[in-house]
Amino acid sequence: MKAMVLKKLCNLKENKSPLELVDMPVPVEAEDEILVKVSACGVCHTEIDEIEGRTPPSKFPVILGHQIIGRVEKMGSKANKFMIGDRVGIAWIHSACGKCTFCHEGRENLCDEFKATGRDAEGGYAEYTTVSEKFAYKIPEIFSDAQAAPLLCAGAIGYRSLKLAMIEDGKNIGFTGFGASAHLVIKMVKHLYPHSRVFVFSRTEREREFAKELGAFWAGNSEDESPEKLHCVIDTTPVWKPVVDVMKNVEKGGRLVINAIRKEEVDKDALLTIDYPRDIWMEKEIKSVANITKKDVEEFLQLAALIPIRPDVQEFKLEEANKALMELKERKIRGAKVLKIG
């Protein structure tokens, strides 16, 4: 099969083609696994973090990609959740131990043995992949393959971040950055919390315009003071300054949820400008969202079909994965980038 593989960590400023097209054997499914013929795989900023070593793969070479849509091609001897030909999705969570306290509490996203698709296990930048049937999901029919792919990470983790933000209808919510995840989360907010106002902070005019098209009440620069205080904020930027900048706008007792697997080091100095009385005092909270649970993915797919959320997607061929990644790195974003495969 064809696959785009990462053989070693690299700096994308120096190497703009980190992935190599290779021909390799089709993987063989274990007894509890399904073999999936991949038709679409979303391209995520986390892949850039993997390539540049902020969340390095645990093996090389590795096939990246964790927003996978495909069809069941074969099943292991103990797999019976799906039928051959069923359309399934695979998300960031590839497996967890199933035995620890976190797993028993439905918080397998925090399991010590959490394994990520396209980082610790082979992902979807390829024609085939395998996964335990427990971590594959039926995809609602209303979505095309390309539309469904970005729902599996940007959408599902966005849904988790919205839960952690503890928003209530009528309360203000902010977004710092307005890329693939935020443009899906704003649609959930409009549906679930119709009386809430959305405030977007972005350094690019294009993202601010896009936010307003999608119903943001206000959109400004990341340094700006918002016209109203915010009860919660979801940060989807890869850097620190927007986090520090937005805290002055957070209401007393409000919270900021950082939806980023790693932050870049370039502007870490910005943290030294945090002003405790202005930014943290009065019970303001800062927390992160980590990984994803099975339940998040399942709930979110149902919600997405109900609303419905149809992500705006930009399609690339498998062989163009490097191009898609570089455009994402350079923040040429309007909607979500998806590799169409096969």
The residues of the shown chain that bind Zn ion, judged by CB under 5 A, are 44, 46, 96-97, 100, 103, 111, 153
Nearer to Zn ion, 158 or 174 (CB): 158
**Min CB(188)–Zn ion separation in Å:** 17
- How do beta strands 2-6 and 62-63 pair? antiparallel
Is the CB of 149 or the CB of 341 nearer to Zn ion? Answer: 149
Those residues with Cβ within 8 angstroms of residue 268's Cβ, 6 or more apart along the chain or in another chain? 240
Q: Which CB, 155 or 254, lies closer to Zn ion? A: 155
Q: Which is nearer to Zn ion, 152 or 247 (by Cβ)?
A: 152
Q: Which of 65, 254 has the CB closer to Zn ion?
A: 65
Question: Residue 111 CB, nearest distance to Zn ion (Å)?
Answer: 3
Q: Which is nearer to Zn ion, 134 or 212 (CB)?
A: 134
Tell the smallest beta-carbon distance from residue 169 to Zn ion (Å).
28
Contact 146, 314 (CB under 8 A): no
Please tell me the distance from the alpha carbon of residue 75 to that of residue 101, in angstroms, as a whole number: 30
Q: Residue 103 Cβ, how far from Zn ion at the closest point, in Å?
A: 3
Integer angstrom CA distances of residue 31 from 44, 130, 252, 306: 30, 11, 52, 34
For the CB of residue 67, give the shortest distance to Zn ion in the complex, in Å: 6
CA atoms within 13 A on the CB side of 282: 14
Q: What is the dihedral of CA 178, 314, 311, 318, to 10 degrees?
A: -110
Closer by beta carbon to Zn ion, 34 or else 96: 96
Nearer to Zn ion, 106 or 215 (CB): 106
Least distance to Zn ion, CB of residue 152, Å = 8
Shortest spacing between CB 91 and Zn ion, in angstroms? 8
Report CA-CA distances (Å) from 140 to 106, 143, 303, 310: 23, 6, 10, 12
Among 270, 302, 342, smallest CA distance to 137 is for: 302
Nearest distance, CB of residue 273 and Zn ion, angstroms = 29
Distances (CA, A) of 146 to 110, 197, 219, 245, 284: 29, 30, 29, 35, 39
For residue 298, the tally of other CB atoms under 10 A from its CB is 14
CB 336 within 8 A of CB 312: yes
Least Cα distance to 92 among 42, 54, 141, 22 occurs for 42
Q: How many other CB atoms sit within 10 Å of the CB of residue 218?
A: 18
